[in-house]
Amino acid sequence: MSDDDFLRVEAFDCPMSTCAAPAGSPCRTGRGKVAIQYHTARFRLVPSLAKALAVATPALRKPGSAWVELPRRATASAEPAGHVRIGYARASTVRQSLDTQLDSLAEAGVTRVFSEKISTRVLRRPELEKAIALAREIRASGVAVTLVVHEHKRLGRGIELAALAENLRAADIGLEFLTGDLHGSHDPTGIVFTVLAAMSGMDREYIRDRTLEGHESARARGKTIGGAAVTDEAMLSHALHLRDQQGMSLRDIAARLVITTGKKKGQHPSPATVLRMLRDHDQAAGAAETSNA
Protein backbone atom coordinates (compact mmCIF):
# COMPACT_ATOMS: atom_id res chain seq x y z
CA MET A 1 0.00 0.00 0.00
CA SER A 2 1.41 3.40 -0.95
CA ASP A 3 0.63 6.86 0.39
CA ASP A 4 -1.23 7.92 -2.75
CA ASP A 5 -3.48 4.86 -3.22
CA PHE A 6 -6.43 7.07 -2.33
CA LEU A 7 -5.82 9.10 -5.52
CA ARG A 8 -6.15 5.95 -7.61
CA VAL A 9 -9.37 5.02 -5.81
CA GLU A 10 -10.89 8.48 -6.10
CA ALA A 11 -10.35 8.48 -9.85
CA PHE A 12 -13.65 6.51 -9.96
CA ASP A 13 -17.20 7.19 -8.80
CA CYS A 14 -18.12 4.87 -5.95
CA PRO A 15 -20.51 2.18 -7.36
CA MET A 16 -22.13 1.57 -3.96
CA SER A 17 -25.69 2.87 -4.13
CA THR A 18 -25.56 3.82 -0.44
CA CYS A 19 -22.47 5.94 -1.08
CA ALA A 20 -22.26 7.04 -4.74
CA ALA A 21 -19.42 9.42 -3.93
CA PRO A 22 -18.29 11.18 -7.11
CA ALA A 23 -14.72 11.00 -8.38
CA GLY A 24 -12.45 13.25 -6.35
CA SER A 25 -14.35 12.73 -3.08
CA PRO A 26 -13.92 10.10 -0.32
CA CYS A 27 -16.58 7.49 0.37
CA ARG A 28 -19.37 8.34 2.81
CA THR A 29 -21.37 6.41 5.37
CA GLY A 30 -25.15 6.17 5.56
CA ARG A 31 -25.07 8.81 8.31
CA GLY A 32 -23.31 11.34 6.13
CA LYS A 33 -19.81 10.96 7.56
CA VAL A 34 -16.53 10.45 5.73
CA ALA A 35 -15.97 6.68 5.69
CA ILE A 36 -12.99 5.29 7.59
CA GLN A 37 -12.22 3.04 4.62
CA TYR A 38 -13.09 3.23 0.94
CA HIS A 39 -15.87 0.85 -0.04
CA THR A 40 -14.61 -2.45 -1.45
CA ALA A 41 -16.56 -2.09 -4.68
CA ARG A 42 -14.71 1.14 -5.35
CA PHE A 43 -11.09 0.22 -4.73
CA ARG A 44 -11.59 -3.07 -6.57
CA LEU A 45 -11.85 -0.93 -9.71
CA VAL A 46 -8.12 -0.24 -9.36
CA PRO A 47 -6.11 -3.21 -10.74
CA SER A 48 -3.20 -2.72 -8.33
CA LEU A 49 -5.58 -2.81 -5.35
CA ALA A 50 -7.90 -5.57 -6.55
CA LYS A 51 -6.54 -8.05 -4.01
CA ALA A 52 -6.31 -5.60 -1.11
CA LEU A 53 -8.48 -6.33 1.93
CA ALA A 54 -9.02 -2.67 2.74
CA VAL A 55 -7.90 0.79 1.66
CA ALA A 56 -7.94 3.36 4.46
CA THR A 57 -9.21 6.88 3.91
CA PRO A 58 -6.22 9.22 4.47
CA ALA A 59 -6.14 11.69 7.35
CA LEU A 60 -6.32 14.65 4.97
CA ARG A 61 -9.87 13.53 4.09
CA LYS A 62 -10.79 13.72 7.81
CA PRO A 63 -12.42 10.29 8.30
CA GLY A 64 -15.42 10.49 10.64
CA SER A 65 -16.11 14.17 9.88
CA ALA A 66 -19.16 15.48 8.05
CA TRP A 67 -18.96 14.44 4.36
CA VAL A 68 -18.79 17.17 1.72
CA GLU A 69 -18.34 16.78 -2.01
CA LEU A 70 -14.89 17.79 -3.25
CA PRO A 71 -14.00 18.99 -6.75
CA ARG A 72 -13.49 16.27 -9.30
CA ARG A 73 -9.89 15.57 -10.18
CA ALA A 74 -8.80 17.07 -13.46
CA THR A 75 -8.90 14.49 -16.25
CA ALA A 76 -6.38 14.08 -19.03
CA SER A 77 -8.88 15.56 -21.51
CA ALA A 78 -9.48 18.65 -19.39
CA GLU A 79 -7.56 21.76 -20.37
CA PRO A 80 -5.33 22.85 -17.47
CA ALA A 81 -6.00 26.33 -16.12
CA GLY A 82 -2.27 27.10 -16.07
CA HIS A 83 1.16 25.54 -15.59
CA VAL A 84 3.39 25.61 -12.51
CA ARG A 85 6.95 24.27 -12.35
CA ILE A 86 8.27 23.23 -8.92
CA GLY A 87 11.99 22.62 -8.48
CA TYR A 88 13.85 20.14 -6.30
CA ALA A 89 17.59 20.09 -5.50
CA ARG A 90 19.52 17.60 -3.36
CA ALA A 91 23.10 16.97 -2.29
CA SER A 92 24.20 13.75 -0.58
CA THR A 93 26.34 15.36 2.14
CA VAL A 94 26.49 18.62 4.05
CA ARG A 95 29.84 19.46 2.43
CA GLN A 96 28.47 19.29 -1.11
CA SER A 97 27.21 22.51 -2.68
CA LEU A 98 23.75 23.00 -4.16
CA ASP A 99 24.80 26.07 -6.14
CA THR A 100 25.03 24.35 -9.53
CA GLN A 101 21.59 22.81 -9.19
CA LEU A 102 19.98 26.01 -7.88
CA ASP A 103 21.56 28.07 -10.68
CA SER A 104 20.35 25.56 -13.26
CA LEU A 105 16.78 25.68 -11.92
CA ALA A 106 16.86 29.48 -11.83
CA GLU A 107 18.04 29.64 -15.46
CA ALA A 108 15.16 27.33 -16.38
CA GLY A 109 12.72 29.83 -14.88
CA VAL A 110 11.84 27.77 -11.79
CA THR A 111 11.14 30.10 -8.86
CA ARG A 112 9.71 27.73 -6.23
CA VAL A 113 12.47 25.32 -5.20
CA PHE A 114 12.72 22.77 -2.38
CA SER A 115 16.26 21.74 -1.46
CA GLU A 116 17.97 19.51 1.10
CA LYS A 117 21.25 17.77 1.88
CA ILE A 118 20.46 14.14 2.47
CA SER A 119 21.49 10.75 1.05
CA THR A 120 19.25 8.86 -1.39
CA ARG A 121 19.64 5.89 0.94
CA VAL A 122 17.49 7.69 3.53
CA LEU A 123 13.93 6.42 3.20
CA ARG A 124 12.25 9.77 3.91
CA ARG A 125 13.35 13.00 2.25
CA PRO A 126 11.27 15.75 3.90
CA GLU A 127 11.80 18.49 1.30
CA LEU A 128 11.00 16.17 -1.59
CA GLU A 129 7.83 15.11 0.19
CA LYS A 130 6.90 18.79 0.62
CA ALA A 131 7.52 19.47 -3.07
CA ILE A 132 5.31 16.57 -4.15
CA ALA A 133 2.59 17.49 -1.64
CA LEU A 134 2.49 21.05 -3.00
CA ALA A 135 2.44 19.74 -6.57
CA ARG A 136 -0.56 17.51 -5.78
CA GLU A 137 -2.40 20.37 -4.11
CA ILE A 138 -1.87 22.64 -7.10
CA ARG A 139 -2.79 19.90 -9.58
CA ALA A 140 -6.01 19.19 -7.69
CA SER A 141 -7.04 22.78 -8.37
CA GLY A 142 -6.89 22.13 -12.11
CA VAL A 143 -3.47 23.64 -12.79
CA ALA A 144 -0.83 21.58 -14.63
CA VAL A 145 2.29 20.92 -12.55
CA THR A 146 5.78 19.72 -13.43
CA LEU A 147 8.48 18.68 -10.97
CA VAL A 148 11.79 20.01 -12.33
CA VAL A 149 15.15 18.53 -11.26
CA HIS A 150 18.68 19.33 -12.42
CA GLU A 151 19.53 15.64 -13.03
CA HIS A 152 17.74 12.35 -12.43
CA LYS A 153 20.36 11.23 -9.88
CA ARG A 154 19.06 13.91 -7.52
CA LEU A 155 15.81 11.91 -7.29
CA GLY A 156 17.16 8.36 -7.34
CA ARG A 157 18.23 5.55 -9.61
CA GLY A 158 16.85 2.38 -11.14
CA ILE A 159 13.74 0.92 -9.53
CA GLU A 160 13.73 3.69 -6.94
CA LEU A 161 13.45 6.35 -9.67
CA ALA A 162 10.86 4.38 -11.63
CA ALA A 163 8.68 3.98 -8.51
CA LEU A 164 8.82 7.70 -7.75
CA ALA A 165 7.95 8.53 -11.35
CA GLU A 166 4.96 6.18 -11.15
CA ASN A 167 3.68 8.01 -8.06
CA LEU A 168 3.98 11.31 -9.91
CA ARG A 169 2.15 9.86 -12.89
CA ALA A 170 -0.69 8.64 -10.66
CA ALA A 171 -1.08 12.20 -9.38
CA ASP A 172 -0.90 13.57 -12.97
CA ILE A 173 2.31 15.50 -12.22
CA GLY A 174 4.88 16.01 -14.96
CA LEU A 175 8.59 15.29 -14.59
CA GLU A 176 11.46 17.19 -16.22
CA PHE A 177 15.25 16.85 -15.98
CA LEU A 178 17.45 19.74 -17.06
CA THR A 179 20.56 17.67 -17.84
CA GLY A 180 21.99 14.14 -17.76
CA ASP A 181 21.01 10.87 -19.44
CA LEU A 182 17.28 11.51 -18.94
CA HIS A 183 17.42 15.17 -20.03
CA GLY A 184 14.02 16.56 -21.02
CA SER A 185 10.37 16.06 -20.13
CA HIS A 186 9.23 12.47 -19.74
CA ASP A 187 6.13 10.36 -19.74
CA PRO A 188 6.81 8.01 -16.79
CA THR A 189 4.49 5.41 -18.32
CA GLY A 190 6.55 5.12 -21.50
CA ILE A 191 8.80 2.13 -22.14
CA VAL A 192 11.71 4.42 -23.03
CA PHE A 193 11.62 6.10 -19.62
CA THR A 194 11.33 2.76 -17.84
CA VAL A 195 14.38 1.35 -19.63
CA LEU A 196 16.46 4.49 -19.11
CA ALA A 197 15.50 4.67 -15.42
CA ALA A 198 16.53 1.05 -14.91
CA MET A 199 19.83 1.61 -16.73
CA SER A 200 20.54 4.67 -14.59
CA GLY A 201 20.90 2.38 -11.59
CA MET A 202 23.35 0.06 -13.31
CA ASP A 203 26.34 2.43 -13.21
CA ARG A 204 26.43 2.37 -9.40
CA GLU A 205 26.27 -1.43 -9.37
CA TYR A 206 28.95 -1.62 -12.09
CA ILE A 207 31.33 0.63 -10.15
CA ARG A 208 30.72 -1.32 -6.93
CA ASP A 209 31.33 -4.69 -8.63
CA ARG A 210 34.51 -3.49 -10.35
CA THR A 211 35.81 -2.07 -7.06
CA LEU A 212 35.22 -5.36 -5.26
CA GLU A 213 36.90 -7.27 -8.09
CA GLY A 214 39.90 -4.96 -7.82
CA HIS A 215 40.13 -5.53 -4.08
CA GLU A 216 40.04 -9.30 -4.49
CA SER A 217 42.71 -9.16 -7.19
CA ALA A 218 44.94 -6.99 -4.97
CA ARG A 219 44.51 -9.30 -1.98
CA ALA A 220 45.43 -12.30 -4.14
CA ARG A 221 48.73 -10.55 -4.91
CA GLY A 222 49.39 -9.87 -1.24
CA LYS A 223 48.60 -6.16 -1.42
CA THR A 224 46.92 -4.33 1.46
CA ILE A 225 43.57 -2.64 0.79
CA GLY A 226 42.99 0.73 2.40
CA GLY A 227 45.39 2.68 4.60
CA ALA A 228 48.81 1.62 5.81
CA ALA A 229 48.80 -1.50 8.01
CA VAL A 230 49.13 -0.89 11.75
CA THR A 231 49.77 -4.53 12.69
CA ASP A 232 52.97 -6.55 12.47
CA GLU A 233 54.31 -9.97 13.47
CA ALA A 234 55.34 -8.82 16.95
CA MET A 235 51.88 -7.44 17.63
CA LEU A 236 50.27 -10.65 16.34
CA SER A 237 52.48 -12.80 18.57
CA HIS A 238 51.63 -10.70 21.62
CA ALA A 239 47.91 -10.74 20.80
CA LEU A 240 47.91 -14.54 20.39
CA HIS A 241 49.60 -14.92 23.79
CA LEU A 242 47.05 -12.65 25.49
CA ARG A 243 44.15 -14.48 23.85
CA ASP A 244 45.29 -18.10 24.08
CA GLN A 245 47.26 -18.02 27.33
CA GLN A 246 45.43 -15.40 29.35
CA GLY A 247 41.95 -15.53 27.76
CA MET A 248 41.61 -11.75 27.41
CA SER A 249 38.80 -10.07 25.50
CA LEU A 250 39.44 -8.15 22.27
CA ARG A 251 39.02 -4.84 24.07
CA ASP A 252 41.56 -5.79 26.76
CA ILE A 253 44.01 -7.13 24.16
CA ALA A 254 43.77 -3.89 22.15
CA ALA A 255 44.54 -1.89 25.31
CA ARG A 256 47.79 -3.90 25.80
CA LEU A 257 49.05 -3.49 22.22
CA VAL A 258 50.88 -0.46 20.79
CA ILE A 259 51.29 0.56 17.15
CA THR A 260 54.99 0.96 16.36
CA THR A 261 54.99 2.58 12.89
CA GLY A 262 53.08 5.08 10.77
CA LYS A 263 50.87 8.02 11.63
CA LYS A 264 49.28 6.12 14.52
CA LYS A 265 52.61 5.24 16.15
CA GLY A 266 52.25 5.05 19.94
CA GLN A 267 48.46 4.55 19.83
CA HIS A 268 46.48 1.42 20.65
CA PRO A 269 44.83 -0.47 17.76
CA SER A 270 41.04 -0.72 17.81
CA PRO A 271 39.32 -3.94 18.91
CA ALA A 272 38.09 -4.31 15.29
CA THR A 273 41.70 -4.22 14.04
CA VAL A 274 42.71 -6.87 16.57
CA LEU A 275 39.72 -9.01 15.52
CA ARG A 276 40.74 -8.84 11.84
CA MET A 277 44.37 -9.61 12.66
CA LEU A 278 43.50 -12.70 14.72
CA ARG A 279 40.83 -13.83 12.27
CA ASP A 280 43.24 -13.64 9.32
CA HIS A 281 45.82 -15.60 11.31
CA ASP A 282 43.31 -18.29 12.27
CA GLN A 283 42.10 -18.63 8.68
CA ALA A 284 45.65 -18.91 7.36
CA ALA A 285 46.53 -21.50 10.03
CA GLY A 286 43.42 -23.50 9.22
CA ALA A 287 44.20 -23.48 5.51
CA ALA A 288 47.75 -24.66 6.21
CA GLU A 289 46.51 -27.55 8.35
CA THR A 290 44.08 -28.57 5.64
CA SER A 291 46.75 -28.59 2.93
CA ASN A 292 49.12 -30.67 5.13
CA ALA A 293 46.46 -33.20 6.08
DSSP string, 173-238: -EEEESSSTT-EEE-TTSHHHHHHHHHHTHHHHHHHHHHHHHHHHHHHTTPPPSS-----HHHHHH
pLDDT tens-digit readout, 36-76: 999 998 988 887 787 888 899 999 999 999 999 988 765 54
pLDDT of residue 178: 92
**Catalytic sites, residue numbers:** 92
102 has a pLDDT exceeding 60:
yes
Residue 86: per-residue pLDDT: 94
**pLDDT-based confidence at residue 194 (cuts at 50, 70, 90):** low
Per-residue pLDDT tens digits for 210-234: 565 565 666 666 665 544 567 888 8
The answer to whether domain 83-202 has CATH 3.40.50.1390 is yes
Alpha-carbon distance of 17 to 21, in angstroms, equals 9
SS3 content of the chain, % helix, strand, coil (to 5): 45, 10, 45
Give the pLDDT band of residue 90 (cuts 50, 70, 90): very high
Count the neighbouring beta carbons within 10 Å of the beta carbon of residue 273.
20
Residue 17 has pLDDT above 60, yes or no: yes
CA dist 24 and 67 (Å) reads 13
Residue 103 predicted with pLDDT over 60: yes
User: Which pLDDT does position 107 carry in this prediction?
Assistant: 92
What integer best gives the mean pLDDT of the chain?
A: 80
Which residues are 242's β-sheet partners? none
Q: Say yes or no to pLDDT of 137 above 80.
A: yes
d(CA 280, CA 283) in angstroms, rounded, equals: 5
Of 90 and 162, more confident:
90
Going from N- to C-terminal start, the domains of the chain cover 1-73, 83-202, 228-292
Q: Kindly state the DSSP code that residue 96 receives in the 8-state scheme.
A: S
